[in-house]
Amino acid sequence: MLNQSSKKTIKDILKGVDVEINGSRPWDIQVKNEDFYSRILAGGSLALGESYMDGSWECRAIDQLIVKFLSANLDKKIRPTGSFLRALFKAWLFNQQRKSKAHEIGEKHYDIGNDLYKNMLGQSLNYSCGYWRKAKILDQAQIDKMDLICKKLELEPDMTLLDIGCGWGSLAKFAAEKYKAKVVGITVSKEQAKLAQELNKGLDVEIRLEDYRDIKEKFDRVVSVGMFEHVGAKNYRTYFRAAGRVLKNNGLFLLHTIAGNRSAANTDSWIDKYIFPNSLLPSAKQITSAYEGIFRLEDWHNFGPDYDKTLMAWHENFNRNWDKIKDNYSQRFKRMWNYYLLACAGSFRAGKNQLWQIVFRKIDSIEVGYESIR
């Protein structure tokens, strides 16, 4: 009786968002295990992802399904009170992104295999949103993104550039080769650092396994691409102070980050558990509060829809190249990774996530003037 009641409840909810159980459309859900219904009601988004990983349901177009869910705010309507409150309590009480935990994201996500990322990300090894204004393919979109960043930074030969969260060193390599900059890249991933050092061999590029809070030198320019999502609200002010401390007066800092439309204290429970532990998407309010008195805003550029295209291209690469890497990963991992890429694509398509490039200028006098009137 309990399972029948759960089944009716879920079917009624889905009917309101144009999703059918065992329907024929790409976004319809095919239920393989009847426990699916009670499991979703009890576990919300975490259970939705886990039950897909377990094979309890199928869907030909998860990205389209997620668009329908998020457009109808189902993530707010089906949310287990107990686990949600625990997540909020954990976020408020503890600093999940404190320095002692800085390398955790590297170990749990970025260190799971360079073979995976080489076969998913394309030739440039950029694990961030491409810029698709003119590009028709992923590799060109990533080149255009890196060029856009360097132009916004007004990068010139022999300028020193700090890349906070340098990944596999793609932007460092591009800046050193095309713009003749002297680059220091930092990452908390051992595997990223190892490959980035190999890819930048012979260039004026230094790759370090280091936390952003430990940098001491001064740089002409600072850039951070796809790293701010791991900083956490409790550390936003510390992060901007760190960037301001190492940037020379009148220098430019470009922040490239995924963002949310509203301020939040915690992330989606499935993403937190399986993909990006301790992550958090910032809001515009949280960013502006954090940089005030340290930087002057120069430019704010949103191209969130481009991340939908980027994620779908990664999804295509991942599945086309699966046979090359399948001996290193389980079928459950494959289902998890597909769900991650397609659910994120759907989130950008629904407008729930944004992609911002923000340019700041360092003016030493701002901090003094601001602090003096507090």
- What is the full DSSP assignment across 62-126? HHHHHHHHHHTTHHHHS--HHHHHHHHHHHHHS-TT-GGGTTHHIIIIITS-HHHHHHHH-TT--
Active site residue 166: no
**Which pLDDT score is estimated for 369?**
39
Residue 177 has pLDDT above 80, yes or no: yes
Strand partners for 30: 58
Question: Tens of pLDDT along 129-163?
Answer: 999 999 999 999 999 999 999 999 999 999 999 99
pLDDT tens digits along 40-59:
988 989 999 999 999 999 99
**Secondary structure class of 225 (helix, strand, coil):** strand
**Domain boundary assignment for the chain:** 2-79, 101-372
Residue 360 is given by DSSP the state: E
**Angle, CA 215 vertex, CA 108 and CA 288 arms, to 5°:** 80
- The percent of residues above 90 in pLDDT, for the chain, comes to 78
Q: Is the pTM of this model over 0.85?
A: yes
Mind listing the pLDDT tens digit for each residue in 51-80? 999 999 999 999 999 999 999 988 666 655
DSSP string, 142-180: HHHHHHHHHHHTT--TT-EEEEET-TTSHHHHHHHHHS-
Give 3-state DSSP helix, strand, coil % of the chain, rounded to 5.
Answer: 50, 15, 30
Over 60: is that where the pLDDT of 2 sits?
A: no
* Fold type of domain 101-372: Rossmann fold (3.40.50)
pLDDT tier at 373 (50, 70, 90 boundaries)?
very low
| Phi, psi of 254, deg, nearest 5 | -110, 125
